[in-house]
Amino acid sequence: MKLIKTYIIYTLISLFALNSAKAQQTKEKPFEDLAETLKIMTNQELYFAGDKVWFGLKLLKNHRSHKFSKLSYVEIYNPDNDLIHREMLLLDNKEMAYGDFILPDNLEDGEYKIFAYTQWMTNFPSYKIPAKSILVTQMGQENTTGEGQLYYSTKDGETPELTLFHTFDEPLIIEVEELDGTGKLVLEEIPPFEKVDSKVIFENQKRIRYGQNREVITPNLINFHSSNYTLKLPANSSEISHIVIHTDVLIIDTLYKSDAVNRVITLNRENHNRYPEIQISVFGKENQLLTHQYHHQNTSSNLQVSVNRNVKVGNESSAILRDEQAMFGHAFAWVKNPEVPEIEMLATVLNSPSWKAVGESSKHNQNYLLARKEIEKNTNPDKQKDFLPLLTYNPLKSNLKSLRPDLFKSNKSINLPNIEDIETFEVKRRVFHEHFEYDTRVSIPVSPYSVDNSYWVPDYEGYRDLTTFLKEVVPQIRIRKDSEDKTEIRIFNPNMDRVHFKNTPLLLIDFHKIDDPDFLLNYDYAQIDRIEVIYLRNSIDETNLGGKAENGVLALFTKQNDYKIKHNPDPSKYILRELDVPRIPAGNVFHQEANSAVTLSKPQSWNPSIRLTRGRSRINFQTLEEPGRLQVEAFFFNNANWGSTKNELRVN
């Protein structure tokens, strides 16, 4: 008996010690339990004004619990930092959001920035906000954006080299010299929109001259050698305290000067080469950030997209996605038009933090490690995350520019490459679409609540207007005229055969409240995609719409989701104005013919949620309607990491 008591006491002490250790471990790493970011994907790098941008977002997180932000914000700003589009999207069960928005047809040429973030990211002034630059131009107009910009970067290697890129119209003569005027090197006829390795050893500050400009450029403090995974410290490293290797949501390694042998630190290749990019943050003795640099890595060898190289117009195609190391759980893929090499290189330079514009300050004011102390010191639990259930969020009322003005700086204008060939191709494509009347598939809004019945209008033929369709197809609807000849619409449960004509249901078009029943009944029948009806009491209660929906809901959805664009309703009429809804991607629903001139830059086919089983999946693409050389692009995801790869196919 005494032995049993002793065993029980020992067990309890062990459990208490284990729980204390776990609690202490959790307390020591609160930041890793909170960090998150969004990966932004767009189907093109260059758009013409009036085109539609197709995008995808994936939440990357390093949370050790099931909780994560469920609401994402998307904003796009023009070159003058004016907001031109903003929307809020619920993340789906794969923590993704996807959709499209139209670029106004009066936009000026230049670089446009897309920001994607969660409410939690805006709580901390130093937290990195994800952004992606796209290029927009007017068709048929000369490029008048600006005089051009010179960019520089450091090429990885045993000895760092200076790499240059510029957007001037003509080849550029560039002079590189030491700050004291010695060691001058003249680089002649550097072509625009081409990356050039200068062979200049870039270990200390250099003075650079081009045209009338004279600037000083600064190399990376630490030299990363990507071939043998080593870090070389500078000759004078007395101010360095420690080095952190990390991604946007994950700390991979922390290194100290004591780890160096002859100023060289060897990294663990297995820990680092699984990430498409790593970041190196160097901290001083006062724990201040001395430098912050990015390095892209070639991880595509482990990821493959196998496609049938030749497909005929009008036929379907398929692809096999492979992840040899089975690191990723699901993927996102689309078939799109390949970019022109000059455009692709320019977009790479604009979107890669390892490239710096000559003459612009490079303060390290946006780094998630800088925000770590802000996060750990935060004692307000309400400030952490928007974990609340569906439809009970308190979304941000202000935009990112007012929350984080440090992200919006005046940048020099850039020129775009000669786009005559691109315009010729685009014109031919428009003519091709209009001549053959090819349909345009669009992503369709999904109701954030359960509906009792959904009717796909294209499934039914022979109806001339909505009134006839509702009377003959939808048994839950009754329409009549009252004593004053006003139209009344009522919803009832046909199983109970009771109609309460005193109760008016909630009438919606694309989630906008309609007060006039005649307006709804006379809406262009050819533009209606589907009709949803909610009439059962449990379904009504689950909408969380309160008294607005107590008498049922009749919701119409247009084929192009364009009611708002065409009718410009009062914002208060949007029934879910505090958030937008998820979307059914094109390809997972019936598609309808529409005016393809509205959205020519669309991907020909896409699937935003592909499940990988043991690192492999076979996916089918819809009918490919355009002849020419196309590109299959796939992104692979797990909880905190991503990778991407491409392959080409030809449609004959």
In tens, the pLDDT along 618-637 reads 888 776 767 778 889 999 99
Residue 468 belongs to a domain with what CATH number?
Answer: 2.170.130.10
For the residues 200-223, what does the mean pLDDT come to? 90
pLDDT digits (tens, 9 = 90+) for 482-521: 878 888 888 887 776 555 546 788 999 988 899 999 999 9
548 domain residue, yes or no? yes
For the residues 171-182, what does the mean pLDDT come to? 90
- What is the predicted pLDDT for the residue at 547? 77
554 domain residue, yes or no? yes
Residue 109 to residue 78: CA distance in whole angstroms = 9
- Give the containing element (helix H, strand E) for 230: strand 230-232
Per the listing, tokens 């995609």 go with: 529
Residue 237 to residue 225: CA distance in whole angstroms = 18
- What is the predicted pLDDT for the residue at 130? 95
Residue 273 to residue 635: CA distance in whole angstroms = 17
Mean pLDDT over all residues of the chain?
80
- What is the predicted pLDDT for the residue at 260? 85
User: How far is C-alpha 57 from the geometric centre of its chain's CA atoms?
Assistant: 4
- What is the predicted pLDDT for the residue at 234? 87
Residue 630 to residue 652: CA distance in whole angstroms = 11
14 domain residue, yes or no? yes
Q: How many CB atoms lie within 10 A of CB 503?
A: 12
Residue 203 to residue 219: CA distance in whole angstroms = 6
Q: Band of the pLDDT at 270, cuts 50, 70, 90?
A: confident
Q: Band of the pLDDT at 393, cuts 50, 70, 90?
A: low
- What is the predicted pLDDT for the residue at 390? 42
476 domain residue, yes or no? yes
- What is the predicted pLDDT for the residue at 59? 93
- What is the predicted pLDDT for the residue at 491? 85
Secondary structure (DSSP) of 444-500? EE--SS--SEEEEGGG--S--SHHHHHHHH-TTEEEEE-TTS-EEEEE--TTTT---
In terms of pLDDT, which residue wins out, 437 or 276? Answer: 276
For the residues 122-144, what does the mean pLDDT come to? 83
For the residues 21-43, what does the mean pLDDT come to? 66
561 domain residue, yes or no? yes
Domain count, the chain: 2
3-class SS of residue 162: strand
* pLDDT above 90 coverage of the chain, percent: 22
Is it the case that residue 21 has pLDDT exceeding 50? no
Q: Lowest-pLDDT range, 37-46, 567-576, 627-636?
A: 567-576
Residue 203 to residue 182: CA distance in whole angstroms = 15
* pLDDT above 70 coverage of the chain, percent: 79
For the residues 558-587, what does the mean pLDDT come to? 70
Is it the case that residue 313 has pLDDT exceeding 60? yes
For the residues 525-552, what does the mean pLDDT come to? 83
For residue 642, the one-letter residue type is W
Is it the case that residue 439 has pLDDT exceeding 50? no
For the residues 540-545, what does the mean pLDDT come to? 75
- What is the predicted pLDDT for the residue at 42? 95
15 domain residue, yes or no? yes
Burial class (CB in 10 A: 0-12, 13-18, 19+), 37: buried
Q: Which of residues 545, 575, 605 is at a domain's end? A: 575
Name the residue range of residue 513's domain.
Answer: 449-575
Q: Band of the pLDDT at 51, cuts 50, 70, 90?
A: confident
Residue 529 and residue 456 in contact, taking contact as beta carbons nearer than 8 Å: yes
600 domain residue, yes or no? no
- What is the predicted pLDDT for the residue at 19? 47
For the residues 218-244, what does the mean pLDDT come to? 87
All residues at 6 or more sequence positions from 260 whose CB lies less than 8 Å from its CB, including other chains: 233
Task: Enter the tokens of residue 59.
Answer: 């939440």
Q: Band of the pLDDT at 300, cuts 50, 70, 90?
A: low
Tell how many helices (H) and how many strands (E) occur in the chain.
10, 40
- What is the predicted pLDDT for the residue at 364? 65
In terms of pLDDT, which residue wins out, 97 or 497? Answer: 97
480 domain residue, yes or no? yes
Q: Which of residues 552, 575, 598 is at a domain's end? A: 575
Is it the case that residue 374 has pLDDT exceeding 70? yes
Is it the case that residue 559 has pLDDT exceeding 80? no
Is it the case that residue 16 has pLDDT exceeding 70? no
In terms of pLDDT, which residue wins out, 372 or 617? Answer: 617
Residue 293 and residue 232 in contact, taking contact as beta carbons nearer than 8 Å: no
Q: Which of residues 575, 601, 618 is at a domain's end? A: 575
- What is the predicted pLDDT for the residue at 142? 64
Is it the case that residue 14 has pLDDT exceeding 60? no
Is it the case that residue 354 has pLDDT exceeding 60? yes
Q: Band of the pLDDT at 436, cuts 50, 70, 90?
A: low
Q: Lowest-pLDDT range, 49-63, 360-374, 475-489?
A: 360-374
Is it the case that residue 642 has pLDDT exceeding 50? yes
Is it the case that residue 63 has pLDDT exceeding 80? no
- Give the containing element (helix H, strand E) for 47: strand 46-48
Residue 407 and residue 131 in contact, taking contact as beta carbons nearer than 8 Å: yes
For the residues 385-402, what does the mean pLDDT come to? 64
